């Protein structure tokens, strides 16, 4: 059976435009951040997409959070960049799985998400559904003076 090839260049161009509009960054800067976070060698074969580009949550340290998802289960990779100017960024840190090594992936209970609040990176992984409410395992990563590191996890009801 022949697989239909996705036009990833077109998809990424649309993502670049969407996140440029949402953040005020130039679309070429958004594209460069996405490429710097990617592990795929060939951009044309890269199925990763931007899930979140947060310029505010880590701004106290001039950091930017970029969450990308890829693969059949939409697994997240969270990357933090240090911002030096409107167009100059340096990759500082990245994580793609919690301490249990299972990955930050969508599952039968819902969609994984990442964001940053008050200098802390949070990754929410759906864990269960009880009485119609999704419960999440929330992983926190904090700056320790050198890098971001795992700071704990907590089960929480979703929104």
**Helix H or strand E encompassing 11:** helix 8-23
Range of the domain at 106: 50-157
Residue 37 placed within a domain: no
Residue 82 placed within a domain: yes
* Per-residue model confidence as pLDDT tens for the chain (159 residues): 344 456 778 888 999 999 999 999 999 999 999 999 998 888 888 889 999 999 999 999 999 999 999 988 999 999 999 999 989 999 999 999 999 898 999 999 999 999 999 999 999 999 999 888 999 999 999 999 999 999 999 999 876
Residue 1 placed within a domain: no
Q: What is the pTM of this model?
A: 0.91
Structural domains in the chain (count): 1
Question: At which residue do the structure tokens 């911002």 appear?
Answer: 83
- State how far the Cα of 29 lies from the Cα of 125, in Å rounded to an integer: 29
């Amino acid at each position: 059976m022949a697989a239909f090839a996705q036009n990833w260049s077109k998809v990424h161009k649309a993502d670049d435009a969407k996140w440029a509009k949402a953040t005020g960054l130039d679309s070429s800067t958004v594209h460069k951040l996405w490429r710097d976070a990617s592990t795929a060698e060939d951009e044309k074969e890269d199925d990763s997409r931007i899930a979140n580009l947060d310029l505010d949550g880590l701004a106290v340290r001039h950091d930017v959070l970029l969450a990308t998802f890829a693969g059949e289960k939409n697994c997240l990779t969270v990357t933090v960049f240090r911002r030096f100017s409107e167009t100059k960024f340096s990759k500082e840190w990245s994580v793609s799985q919690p301490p249990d090594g299972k990955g930050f992936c969508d599952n039968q209970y819902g969609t994984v998400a990442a964001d940053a609040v008050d200098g802390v990176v949070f990754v929410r992984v759906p864990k269960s559904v009880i009485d119609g409410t999704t419960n999440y395992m929330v992983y926190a990563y904090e700056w320790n003076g050198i890098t971001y590191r795992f700071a704990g996890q907590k089960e929480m009801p979703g929104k």
